[in-house]
Amino acid sequence: MIKVYFERVVPLTADPLWTAARLTQSGSPYVLYEDSSAISVALGAIAEVIVDPDTVQLRYRESETSTFWYDDPLPVVASMLDEIPMTGWRAYGWAAFELAQPQVGTGTLLHLVVPSQEVRLCAGVAVLRATTPAELDSLAALVSADVPEPSFAAVPVDVRQPDTYSDSVAAAVSEIQRGLLQKVILCRTVTVPDIDLVGTYVTGRRANTPARSYLLNLGGIEVAGFSPETVVGVNPDGRVHTQPLAGTRALTGDPEVDHTLRADLLTDPKEIFEHAISVRLAVDELTSLCTPGSVVVEEFMDVLERGTVQHLASRVAGTLPADRGPWDAFRALFPAITASGIPKAAAFESIRRHEPHRRGLYSGAVMTIDHTGSLDTALVLRSVFRRDGETWLCAGAGIVSQSDPAREFEETCEKLASVARFLVPTATAHPVPPQSSQSP
């Protein structure tokens, strides 16, 4: 039997950010996702699609099916989503960096959930969806509840902890100069004390200017982040776009200093080269996918301010042919050029040599996809992660032949500050709304 959502639109008088954040405390799993038009909150699960290194699982209500995959799991994912007997579905979730190289991946590679309850906050209203009238009533009460936002007290952490990052950068520069690759993004990890994830998200989002933001608890991992860029987006009409950011300077808040840094960014040969080759690869990837002649660079080498840094940014777009869909676009562009390297295969090998741990969700994607073919994916950067009692930050820098290890370390510190300045300790209490009833 085909199931439908019950829907209701209610006025929103409270702050959308705080309303969305506190709704995540009404149950799990949850995914909060902010795109350019709305803040959405997915609660509970009607269905889940999970990709492991050899199988794709579909969990729907009380049933579970599992299918082996071989060359590419994404066609199986698309097929399973289409099999869910739910009209108007919209899935939320994440993809690990290792999804791009599943033959060497471990652990879950992709996890999507079709929620039992959903809230979209935009233009002064909340659009509610739930699978039963009782759930809808409960959800409306949660959205309308008068819950004041606490005064969260952030405690910054030191991100200049000694490590071997500069040594890894020097080794990568040597590899590039020997012709093994053109560019690689290497990251460093900073362990931090446990935090109030909701408080950190609210505090950090108010201080950042992301392209996308997210707060989630799904598949055993919790993440709050303020993504500076998208990996790939697809509109229902088949228009596909990507937004590579490469080239970085600090954003201090002092207009005179920031103007000087911006001018330096726009004239630095290393930064311009790093950005240009990233845009070139984005054009190549879209050209291999899109209708001939449709790929264009809509914006080139603008400067975007993202939290504590400013980036060189471009936007490349094209049109999918009739026989291609959103998962084809995702396959072609994931992982982001600006989180992997050029060429990607050689960059993956360099990353495995120089990074001691699996990246997991860092430099992967948080995403939404729906029945119309609309896809939106945020690059997972500027984020704080929590899993199995551990909490950590990650940041990377683009390494090319002209890179200076000390400068690349400094760049990671500038990026880490976008999150590290806004960590709220777990001791900071905040009101939790009553539990809503959710379908299993």
- Look at residues 144, 178, 202 and tell me which one is the last residue of a structural domain: 144
Q: Are residues 117 and 173 in the same domain?
A: no
Q: Are residues 328 and 416 in the same domain?
A: yes
pLDDT tens-digit map of 222-274:
999 999 999 999 999 999 999 999 999 999 999 999 999 999 999 999 999 99
Give a yes or no: residue 35 inside a domain. Answer: yes
Give a yes or no: residue 33 inside a domain. Answer: yes
Q: Does residue 431 have a pLDDT over 90? A: no
User: Which element (helix H / strand E) includes 265?
Assistant: helix 255-267
Q: Does residue 438 have a pLDDT over 80? A: no
Which residues 6+ apart lie within 8 Å of 184 measured at CB?
172, 175, 176, 340, 341, 346, 347, 350, 351, 398, 399
Q: Which domain covers residue 134, as residue numbers?
A: 6-144
Please report the pLDDT score of residue 356 as a whole number: 86
Please report the pLDDT score of residue 338 as a whole number: 92
Please report the pLDDT score of residue 428 as a whole number: 53
Q: Are residues 169 and 107 in the same domain?
A: no
pLDDT tens-digit map of 167-223:
999 999 999 999 999 999 999 999 999 999 999 999 999 999 999 999 999 999 999
Q: Are residues 16 and 116 in the same domain?
A: yes
CB 314 within 8 A of CB 275: yes
Q: Does residue 52 have a pLDDT over 70? A: yes
Give a yes or no: residue 149 inside a domain. Answer: no
3-state secondary structure of 338: helix
Give a yes or no: residue 159 inside a domain. Answer: no
Residue 434 pLDDT grade (very low, low, confident, very high; cuts 50, 70, 90)? very low
Amino acid at 66: S
pLDDT tens-digit map of 141-175:
999 999 999 999 999 999 998 899 999 999 999 99
Please report the pLDDT score of residue 433 as a whole number: 45
Q: Are residues 262 and 321 in the same domain?
A: yes
pLDDT tens-digit map of 319-356:
999 999 999 999 999 999 999 999 999 999 999 999 98
Q: Does residue 126 have a pLDDT over 80? A: yes
In the numeric block, which tokens belong to residue 338? 């600006």
Distance in angstroms (rounded) separating the CA atoms of residues 73 and 103: 11
Instruction: Please list the residues that pair with 189 across neighbouring strands.
Output: 394
Give a yes or no: residue 435 inside a domain. Answer: no
What pTM was estimated for this model as a whole?
0.93
Quickly list DSSP for 121-150. Answer: EETTEEEEEESSHHHHHHHHHHHH---PPP
Q: Does residue 47 have a pLDDT over 50? A: yes
* CATH code for position 323: 3.60.120.10
* Residues annotated as part of the active site: 229
Q: Are residues 183 and 103 in the same domain?
A: no
Give a yes or no: residue 402 inside a domain. Answer: yes
Residue 386 pLDDT grade (very low, low, confident, very high; cuts 50, 70, 90)? very high
Chain centroid, CA 242 distance in Å: 13
Cis peptide before 29 (omega within 30 of 0): yes
Give a yes or no: residue 257 inside a domain. Answer: yes
How far lies 100's CA from each of 105, 202, 333, 364, in Å? 9, 31, 10, 9
Please report the pLDDT score of residue 435 as a whole number: 39
pLDDT tens-digit map of 88-101:
999 999 999 999 98
Please give the average per-residue pLDDT across 3-8, as a whole number. Answer: 92
Q: Are residues 266 and 316 in the same domain?
A: yes
Q: Are residues 188 and 101 in the same domain?
A: no
Give a yes or no: residue 150 inside a domain. Answer: no
Amino acid at 289: L
- Say how many domains are in the chain: 2
Q: Are residues 184 and 247 in the same domain?
A: yes
Q: Are residues 140 and 172 in the same domain?
A: no
Q: Are residues 363 and 226 in the same domain?
A: yes
Please report the pLDDT score of residue 162 as a whole number: 84
Nearest to 363 by CA among 394, 329, 388, 400: 394
Amino acid at 128: L
Q: Are residues 130 and 211 in the same domain?
A: no
Residue 357 pLDDT grade (very low, low, confident, very high; cuts 50, 70, 90)? confident
Q: Does residue 61 have a pLDDT over 60? A: yes
Please give the average per-residue pLDDT across 387-416, as a whole number. Answer: 95
Q: Does residue 440 have a pLDDT over 60? A: no
3-state secondary structure of 38: coil
